[in-house]
Structure 1
Amino acid sequence: MTHFRQSSRLPWRLATVLFMSWFLAGCGINDIPTYDEQVKAAWGQVENQYQRRADLIPNLVETVRAYAQHERETLTAVIEARAKATSIQVDAGTLDDPQKLQQYQQAQDQLSGALSRLMVVSERYPELKANQNFLALQSQLEGTENRISVARRDFIAAVERYNTEIRTFPGRIWHGLLYRDMPVRESFEATTQGAEQAPQVQFR
């Protein structure tokens, strides 16, 4: 009889466990770590697109130099800005550091400014503007800038969703109980070997 009673209780215990799992999932207990992973994934895309841009710069500088050797100051500024931008790394471990994130963004913005000045300089050289390699690089650069904008927008949206979750009910409760080590995030790794080094460009 005792064995029968114990056996009859097993389905009820199993049902209780399944119900509690469903209930907790429905209450959003997993939302915070899920949104946290989405933030990290979105940041990875931001890094990827900035790295894609950095990878285009050595060829771009070489192409411009071939037609505009007198623009030494502008070319040097691009090289130095690239070196600085690729030397600052913000990965999942430092994504919660507002100062590091600001330094990263400032360096990328400086590189954007240097590239803009380089594009202005290219307007002075008709042969450069007609060069097929330059036109291809310019097109790739423009496409990459667009992808950077999209990646940054997606990152900002992911951070907003994460921050909203831990500040509102019921996420605020789960944050206080289970996820205290996951802070509010600021809204706004290099992938290529040697990206931290400036491209070697010899001026003649």
Structure 2
Amino acid sequence: MTISMVLLAVVLAAVIYLATAYNGFITLRNRVKEAWSDIEVQMKRRYDLIPNLVETVKGYASHERETLEKVVEARNMAMSGPKDMESVAKNENILSGTLKSLFALSESYPDLKANQNFLQLQSELRDTEDKIQAARRFYNSNVLSLNTKVEHFPSNIIAGIFHFNKEKFFELEEEAARQPVQVKF
């Protein structure tokens, strides 16, 4: 009778561990999804600001058509491109670079630098860039937690059984793109 109770206790402990570990993976996977959603919300906010910014600049620097077109093209590519991690990071790098060239234009146009609409859009974009950076850190923190649990023993066995896989970090390729777009003058 005692051996069967010990055996029952071991089986019960194993079942409880399995359920707890499985639920832990579900929680971590959902946190990663939520964190990615936060990044998408902030990127959408930035995408929505860009047309207003381009229109404001266009009024002062209409002959800078090539720069403006590159910004719009990069925005459209980022909005409609593939949504896998590598493609999103690549498109974000391109968009950040074109935004930097757009803000560099304002140095040549003092009236643009003083325009209240432009200044407000700069401020909103700076705030959005800060929020995107924070959302990336939050996402990467959740990915780290999930990946660590997927690799640790014995939870790696449960991860393998239930097909929980490591996620990719949101990494930017260029060192310049790792910094938020500078919009100060």
TM-score band, normalised by shorter chain: 0.7 to 0.9
Whichever residue aligns with residue 186 of structure 1, its letter is K
- The residue number in structure 1 matching 2:126 is 142
Whichever residue aligns with residue 28 of structure 2, its letter is Y
Specify which of 149, 165, 169 is matched with residue 187 of structure 1: 169
Segments of 5+ residues of structure 1 without an aligned counterpart are 1-15, 91-99, 189-204
- 1:26 to partner: Cα distance: 8.3
- The residue number in structure 1 matching 2:47 is 54
Number of equivalent positions: 160
Whichever residue aligns with residue 164 of structure 1, its letter is T
Larger Rg: 1
**Bigger helix fraction:** 2
Alignment of 1:104-123 (within 5 A): 104-123=88-107
- The residue number in structure 1 matching 2:4 is none
- 1:27 to partner: Cα distance: 4.9
- 1:166 to partner: Cα distance: 1.0
* CA contact 1:42–1:158 (8 Å) conserved in 2: yes
User: For the residues of structure 1 that align with 2:165 and 2:30, how far apart are their CA atoms?
Assistant: 13
- Name the structure, 1 or 2, with higher relative contact order (CA <8 Å, separation 6+): 1
Q: Which runs of 4+ in 1 moved over 4 A?
A: 19-22
Matched, 1:45 2:38: yes
User: For the residues of structure 1 that align with 2:149 and 2:141, how far apart are their CA atoms?
Assistant: 12
Segments of 5+ residues of structure 2 without an aligned counterpart are 1-8, 171-185
Instruction: Provide the TM-score with structure 1 as the length reference.
Output: 0.73
User: For the residues of structure 1 that align with 2:82 and 2:147, how far apart are their CA atoms?
Assistant: 23
User: For the residues of structure 2 that align with 1:53 and 1:141, how far apart are their CA atoms?
Assistant: 7
